[in-house]
Amino acid sequence: MKESKFFAFCWFCSFFGLLVAFPEQGKWDFQLSSEMPYMPIPKSVYEGFKIYTQITCEPYEQSKESVKLKISWALIEYKCWEEYVRMSYNTQYEAFFMTPNQSKVESGLIDEHCTRGGHIVLPELKLKEPGQKMISKSRRETGKNEPQSIFTITKDGLYIFILRIDSQDSFVANVHVEMKSEQGYLSAVDWPLLPFYGAMCLVYVVLGIIWLAVSFLQWRDLLRIQFWIGGVILLGMLEKAMFYGEYQSINSTGVSVKGMVLLAEWVSCGKRTLARMLVIIVSLGFGIVKPRLGPMLHRVVGTGALYLVLACVESFLRIMHTKNDQLLVASIPLAVLDSAICWWIFTSLVQTTRTLRLRRNMVKLSLYRHFTNTLIFAVLASVVFMLYSIKTHRFAECLTDWKELWVDDAFWHVLFSTLLLVIMILWRPTNNNQRYAFTPLLDNPEDEDDDEE
């Protein structure tokens, strides 16, 4: 019964960790027409964000040189994160204005003419105070081929900007919208991750330099596990650098290159795969209790390859914004495999520590006890954080502290880095490095194939 409960817990932990959001953009280009007269744009912003628009319009019929338009826009603020996410995928125009817990700013109808090759400049709307009536509409110089500010948001919040163009005649309008602050295009819910990934990249650089230095000093006596640790550090450094570059690119340009985002996610998948293989071979006692893994090596490599494929497929579907059922089909096998790896690690640790206890090798037994305690701490920390996150973020009827959602992503990166740091300390290269290596006279190889029975 305890084993089944632990397996279920590992599955839940793995599935929970897969729910990662994608950063919101800051620029949008789309077409409006008589058949599709409006477009909703969701964005979480800080106070001071400005909305810019650029509209070029042409009559659909070649015989007409000009078409009368009625343009309007609305900025709707949602108090609850759940409503904001749900309405971001809404397709019915009236539904945006019928949800509770919202406030809105509307421009009213603006009369314009659609001419071939002409640019439409909307007047800027200014408010006295947040929520009060507008006091002025200022129309700037027309004809400029650049986005023009139409409104400055006066408080932090979750907003959906809706631009609507109506006409009795057919038309095609190319619309460009930007939402930008003095700091850049990143949304309020994503902004904290930019300095976080920058700091984590710096941390991995420091860890890499330290590990490279101590490994160079003891290069004659390095263990194979220590090379694996160096590989995990290198991939972690590359992962954090690519995530930082991704968020910095979105903040600077307002758009994300999906190819680069996908590459960053696949590097992250590679790091997670290598880290899991590292923990597996450590728990099996490779290089410490047994000189080689034998047939078990094929299982480790096969498990790592399967995890890498499933993780890459899941990240591809998540980034390409596929349907939820398709993403679920990819996420469940990955969560099941992750939980199986978790179970494999703990059962192998039990067997390895039992072998060391029978051989009375207290130095290596102490090493594995510290390693086991570290993994137990990680499990307990994960439980506490997940219960907190579920209670405050998943089961809340109206989530208002949406600015703290970035912690759900950051926690797992910090926890992984903490585990890696502990592993680095336990298996650090020293003058007595060989005391942890497999010694035929002390470590009886008769048990090296125990795991295969």
What tens digit of pLDDT does each residue of 420-450 get? Answer: 999 888 888 876 655 555 454 344 444 444 4
Residues 160 and 303 in one domain: no
* Domain-located, residue 65: yes
Residues 286 and 394 in one domain: yes
Residues 174 and 48 in one domain: yes
Q: How far apart are CA 332 and CA 328, in angstroms?
A: 6
Residues 171 and 197 in one domain: no
Residues near 314 by beta carbon (within 8 Å), at least 6 away in sequence: 18, 327, 330, 331, 334
According to the model, what pLDDT value does residue 6 have? 42
**What is the domain count for the chain?**
2
What are the residue ranges of helices labelled H in 360-398? Answer: 362-389
Residues 163 and 95 in one domain: yes
User: Do 122 and 53 meet the contact criterion of CB atoms below 8 Å apart?
Assistant: yes
Q: Is the dihedral of CA 192, 394, 411, 246 positive or negative?
A: negative
Residues 265 and 407 in one domain: yes
Residue 369 CB: number of other CB atoms within 10 A?
15
CATH number of the domain bearing residue 384 = 1.20.1070
Helices 2-17 and 362-389: angle between axes, nearest 10 degrees = 60
Q: How far apart are CA 388 and CA 391, in angstroms?
A: 5
* Domain-located, residue 453: no
Residues 220 and 175 in one domain: no
In order, the DSSP letters of 74-89 are EEEEESSHHHHHHHHT
* Domain-located, residue 447: no
Segment (H or E) for 158: strand 157-166
Return averaged pLDDT per consecutive 10 residues of the chain, 453 residues in all: 42 40 81 87 91 86 80 89 82 69 81 81 73 50 65 90 88 90 91 94 95 86 81 91 91 82 86 88 75 79 92 82 59 85 89 82 82 88 87 78 88 91 85 54 45 40
Geometric angle at alpha carbon 300, from 11 and 302, rounded to 5°: 85
* Domain-located, residue 161: yes
Put residue 384 in one of left, alpha, beta given phi > 0 → left and psi -120 to 50 → alpha: alpha
Q: Is 409 helix (H, G, I), strand (E, B) or coil?
A: helix
CATH number of the domain bearing residue 34 = 2.60.120
β-partners of residue 69 are 112
Give CB contacts under 8 A, 24+ apart, made by 433-438: 433/218, 433/221, 433/222, 433/223, 434/221, 435/363, 436/223, 436/288, 436/363, 436/364, 436/367, 437/223, 437/287, 437/288, 438/287, 438/288, 438/289, 438/290, 438/291
Residues 305 and 370 in one domain: yes
Residues 171 and 207 in one domain: no
* Domain-located, residue 185: no
Residues 173 and 212 in one domain: no
pLDDT in tens, 330-359: 778 888 898 889 889 989 888 888 888 887
R_g of the chain computed on alpha carbons: 28
According to the model, what pLDDT value does residue 104 have? 82
* Domain-located, residue 165: yes
Q: Is 148 helix (H, G, I), strand (E, B) or coil?
A: strand
**Structural domain boundaries, residue 383:** 191-437
Q: What is the pTM of this model?
A: 0.81
| Nearest partner of 402 among 394, 19, 152, judged by Cα | 394
Residues 258 and 174 in one domain: no
Place of tokens 């795969």: 273
Q: How far apart are CA 73 and CA 392, in angstroms?
A: 34
* Domain-located, residue 247: yes
pLDDT in tens, 269-313: 998 898 888 888 888 877 666 666 777 888 989 999 999 999 988
Residues 167 and 240 in one domain: no
- Write the DSSP symbol of residue 122: P
Q: How far apart are CA 285 and CA 228, in angstroms?
A: 14
Look up residue 50 and give its amino acid: K
* Domain-located, residue 2: no
According to the model, what pLDDT value does residue 2 have? 41
